[in-house]
Amino acid sequence: MENNRHKSICPYCGVGCGLDVNVVNNRIAEVKGLKGYPVNDGDICALAYDLPEVINAEGRLKKPLVRKEKGLTEVGWDEAVSFAAGKLNDIISKYGPNAVAFYGGASNTIEEYYLMNKLMKGLIGTNNVECSTRLCMSSTSIGLVSTIGTDAPPCCYADIELADLFFIAGNNMAVSLPIIFKRVQNQKEKGAKVIVVDPRKSQTAAIADMHIQIRPGTDVALNNAIAHVLLKDGYVDEKSVELYCAGLADLKKHLEAWHPERAAKITNVPKEQIIEAAHAIGKAKSMLTFWFQGYNHSSQAVFKNNTLHNISLLSGNFSRPGAGPLTINGEANALGNRWVGALSTLLPGMRSVLNYEHREEVANYWNTQVDKISPTPGLSIIDTIKGLHSGEVRALWVCATNPAVSLPNANWVEEGLKKADLLIVQDIFHPTETSLLANVVFPATQWGEKTGIFITSERRAELIEKIVDIEGDAKPDYEIIQMVANAMGFKEEFAYNSPEEVFEEFKGLTINRICDMGGVTYDRLRAETGPQLPCPALDHKGTPRLFNDYNFPRLDGRAALLARNYIEPAELPNEKFPFILLTGKSAAHFNTRTRTGRLQHSKNNSKTNYISINPVDAKRMGIAENDKVEAESKRGKVKGVARVLDKTREGVIFMNMHYGDLLGVGKGMLANLVTNNACDMHSKQPELKFCAVNISKIKN
């Protein structure tokens, strides 16, 4: 590439498009898609195209802040770091290690997460390390672990061009993964069929050959009935399935009762459509499944995942090129973070805190006592907020995530955050809704200003490099973590001179595991397209697909067919709150909008939060297009502007998640003011997509 052009990877969603970034006078001037890159071959979506405006936006935090009598006050790094480290040490000595917690974002690099894991799990001795991936991919992760024995996405994007059926459930990829959507559309033009399962007529449903407009929350019933039909109508080669799956006999028994008539009643999907969908799956040569937050943001999330995998396994659509579960992550490094151990149950290198051998391996590697690593899982982020309320948790260190906006039941979250004796917030911008509540704010550098590795959804490792210098005193997250660790007294253990040194240390914990990075070096990533993991040696080309030998990392080598029953969502509509509220993403904004809310066109065009309502409901409630409306749940109220659209069925309303108080939209527009903090019991992922509300016109 020319001198001023640099290769990078997009910092937004987990697809991991390759970018060709033009730097002029130390500013990122233009972002294009990287031609020839296997993911996107020169293509990008609007989010990446607009990166220069976001990266150069006003409002960057340039100096550390510490809360003093007159509020958050600019101080030097030494003062901020020694204040934070001193307070952390005080809290640990007074209340024990489990009184502190760390909560990071999925745009942190693997090096940053490695350091945080080492500090918290290895040296302080608490497993309270969480990541926004808890709100995003934890159910996908537990779904894969329970079905195939490991959190390793088996497929790759090249499977799209080999498939003849796409089953897309709870995934509005036209909006959320536009580059993948284009590849799916191209394949559809060549004859592939598309089934979309979504309670809304989403932008993705618009291209479907079959749109299954399911009643929200009921996917397990639908999936079970599809599996029932596959078995009953002779689409399952039971002898082969038994070779690579355990549990067929139990599942068959369980599914006997899941006939389409029963599922039709629960899902509101006509039984004929269920049968037709099952037959289409049975006849397909190669089916790829996509699922996303319509599954994961649910109190039954893991069961939705398991029952979808049952369908792929039964119909022989697993472990073959063009067939299988193609899991895409929401955020750039959501897979990398999991593999480094960014959840409170995990240890680096796809290990678990529950496993003695794993604790021993990691403790030896870190030169620490095995009992230093606690065998008890740490708190999930929702339990951490509960802990702040009860006093069990005293200090929370937030980095690269904005929980005051993104967690459910926002009033309760804010109260919890305010109760902390110490709230450290590390962000690129200030104020954010979360940094406003902090005792210490550390200014961080962002994508393009720091170096580290992302692992994207098809297990591809890539280096994102520092390509511009910054004004002000912001520092990379890895450096800030190291400074605090040093100030807490961990000098020898945290004596790194570069992120590359951190990576080389982490690498040792990946050897001979599915995440094997033995063949990955910074130099290799600079010289060529990053390999797909595992990549055990420098001359190894990487591994596009996993488990094509039908050998799964479970005790008997087979995948598990799991008998799962439908359970109702945690909160059902009732007389006082008769509507179901769904929430989701829009094309114009990314997550909590701290970045995209700074774009001029969004300031001009998307100032309002819409609440979309079905025309029949609107008429009944006396609501017209553009009316100011309010939705209310047990937990709070949210305002918006009515959009009367025939997109959802009667009784179901929808709004986007993005609108915190800041960046021009105004107070009270945040969907999470009303959402439910009930969680899936297996993945601890909150039910962000289903709560009971009432809706009314605001009279002024």
Ligand X SMILES: Nc1nc2c(c(=O)[nH]1)N[C@H]1C(S)=C(S)[C@@H](COP(=O)(O)OP(=O)(O)OC[C@H]3O[C@@H](n4cnc5c(=O)[nH]c(N)nc54)[C@H](O)[C@@H]3O)O[C@H]1N2
Q: How far is the CB of 310 from ligand X (least distance, A)?
A: 16
CA distance 226 to 558: 22
Rounded alpha-carbon distances, angstroms, from residue 367 to 122, 372, 513: 9, 10, 21
Structure tokens at 476: 């990379």
Counting contacts by CB under 5 A, is residue 330 touching Mo ion?
yes
596 or 648, CB closer to ligand SF4? 596
Q: Which of the ranges 62-70, 256-264, 396-404, 489-497 carries the binding residues for ligand X, by CB under 6 A? A: 396-404
Of 62, 93, 670, give the one whose Cα is nearest residue 395: 93
16 binds ligand X (CB under 6 A): no
Note whether 293 binds ligand X by CB under 6 A: yes
Smallest distance from the beta carbon of 590 to ligand SF4, in angstroms?
Answer: 7
536 counts as binding Mo ion under rule CB under 5 A: no
CA distances for 234 relative to 282, 285, 578, angstroms:
9, 15, 42
CB of 311 to ligand SF4, least distance (A): 27
Residue 429: contacted member of Mo ion, ligand SF4, ligand X, none (CB under 5 to 8 Å, by partner type): ligand X
49: three-class secondary structure by DSSP: helix
Provide the minimum distance between the beta carbon of 168 and Mo ion in the complex, in angstroms, as a whole number.
Answer: 17
Structure tokens at 38: 């296997």
Query: In 520-544, which positions are buried (b, 16+ CB within 10 angstroms) versus exposed (e)?
Result: bbbebbeeebbbbbbbbeeeeebbb
The region, left, alpha or beta by phi > 0 then psi within -120 to 50, assigned to residue 166 is: beta
Q: Does 8 bind ligand X (CB under 6 A)?
A: no
* Cβ closest to ligand SF4, residue 129 vs residue 179: 179
Q: Which is nearer to ligand X, 303 or 366 (CB)?
A: 303
Q: Is 428 in the site for ligand X (CB under 6 A)?
A: yes
Contact residues: ligand SF4, CB under 6 A = 10, 12-13, 15-17, 40, 44-45, 47-48, 177-179
Strands 422-427 and 5-9, how do they pair?
A: unpaired
**Identified binder of ligand X from the candidate list 444, 483, 621, 693, rule CB under 6 A:** 444
Neighbouring C-beta atoms of residue 405, cutoff 10 Å: 24
Per partner kind, with CB cut-offs from 5 to 8 A, the member of ligand SF4, ligand X, Mo ion, none near residue 179 is ligand SF4
Question: Which of 221, 241, 222 minimizes the C-alpha distance to 231?
Answer: 241
Looking at the DSSP assignment, which residues form a beta bridge with residue 104?
A: 131, 399
Per rule CB under 6 A, is residue 587 in the interface with ligand X? Answer: yes
Is 314 an interacting residue with respect to ligand X (CB under 6 A)?
A: no
Residue 136 near Mo ion by CB under 5 A = yes
Could you tell me the smallest distance in angstroms from the CB atom of residue 298 to ligand SF4?
Answer: 23
Q: Which is nearer to ligand SF4, 48 or 623 (CB)?
A: 48
Q: Which two three-digit tokens encode residue 582?
A: 């769904």
537: tokens are 């040696």
Q: Residue 610 has which token pair? A: 């819409």
| Distance from C-alpha of 597 to C-alpha of 608, rounded to nearest angstrom | 12
Secondary structure (3-state) at 48: helix
Provide the binding-site residues for Mo ion, judged by CB under 5 A: 136, 330
Provide the binding-site residues for ligand X, judged by CB under 6 A: 13, 47, 105, 107, 132, 135-136, 169-173, 175-176, 197-200, 202, 214, 216-217, 219, 292-294, 297-298, 330-331, 399-403, 405-406, 426-429, 432, 444, 446, 477, 582-585, 587, 589-592, 594-595, 657, 671-672, 675, 688-689
